[in-house]
Structure 1
């Protein structure tokens, strides 16, 4: 081997980066780090995992500033005689290697897994938030929709809270369909005047208790249980019975998996009681969730969290024929490489 040279030294950094960036699997780039100490320092020092991650998942770029500025994936700790900048580079190397493997490459339109709470409900459970998970406005010849309580003031807002199918999800669009009361005179559409979206995570520690009355919990439940880390601009809603699409200005990396839909202003008065209502028949979230083998654990109320890799998923067997074990990012930072089976 003494007669052979290191192509990184022969070609120089610019050409070497171009060659390595042609790799299309983050695992391959991480394996490059195991060739030698020099190669590992080259990959980490030039943020190649970050570049590859953003090349494969360009939408993730909107969330990377949150990771870098606030250390929300893994805080940096500096050990004796070690440079803070190098520790940050090593941390980013691990973070982006995980992200490149974690975010599902396929966009889904069914990113909601559970309806958690509505700020009010007119007739519970017949008009509960659970109905908004149905794709249409009728189920077995009965109307399917959520309805707020009636209000004399059309400016009173309402909120709906949902849990996404993964604790980290790259959200690009949110769709809402106002309900048209086909059983009332004139077929009124009970839309909102505008809509706004918040994303965030539960406070730590938190348990969403089964005993909570979701028809009456209201804003107290929201404020006490969740921290919102993203707020969208307001989008005007049309008073039409169709699935209205609200595309976010840029994809949002929702860490924590909680979505709040704010319905701002009422436009339809019910003839029989003279009160204003908002009714929604369907809510849909479009995005790219974490793959099932990954998860995010919120560490504290500041939003710091750990990105975990669960290789022991059903049917996931190692090359030795044995079930694999869970690994996670909250480990010794020196162990920064991960092999073909997801181990560090």
Structure 2
């Protein structure tokens, strides 16, 4: 598969987001199945795994540590800190003392002495970004992390952070269905030599044709809280998906493969980390990773699905206030 790089380390263009093995999209796989899936990922050639300390409140990191014990040298490992959940309350803490505490807890769960990439999961508006980045730079000097990443932050914040220390990666949601990175962050990453890591590159399963009826999503599925899946917006969005699937059929790829190819076509500094709790989807996502989307097809997708045609914002107003990314008017 095509290689790109994070912090000058080559990685496959398609990595694996591990969140859905522990949290987020309804019914979770058994630990046995999740262990099999993670090992199958490495066997298939996945070499970039992404997790976070809040995925299942430590469950995901623990799962990776146990499932891939003895295979740590086979993959680039990224995790995140900063989001704090206490009961129903959710906040952000990127103070230096919390950063230091969280990395030690993550390393213990992951059963490793270092991670290759450590993200601030969200911006802490009570702490200067330079102060948080400085604390993370100390972790590099201590050998606990290999590089620094930011998640769901703006181009302005990225530039401020990069003046303190080089930023290896910026992770933000990106697909034909979510275009906000095109406002400024994609270009800022290219300018600064920062890899753009696209999460939800198949639009939370939508552009994999994985959501037929949004009303049937379970109570534990986080998509139920997203405006694009409500009764008002979903019918129009589902019509976009049907047209997208027709393009995929014409090109003889699956909808998921088409969405991934579109994301990867946006720049050589872009990598994608689709998540899945299905071994079949794991295999599908990597099977055509070297396929290049024709320019004409990319243009059709751009015209079909974009910030003007998708109905509803990606987050509720309350959730949007917790992130630092640019928004379309």
TM-score (norm 2): 0.24
Give the number of the structure whose alpha-carbon radius of gyration is greater: 1
**Higher share of residues assigned helix:** 2
**Higher share of residues assigned strand:** 1
TM-score (norm 1): 0.23
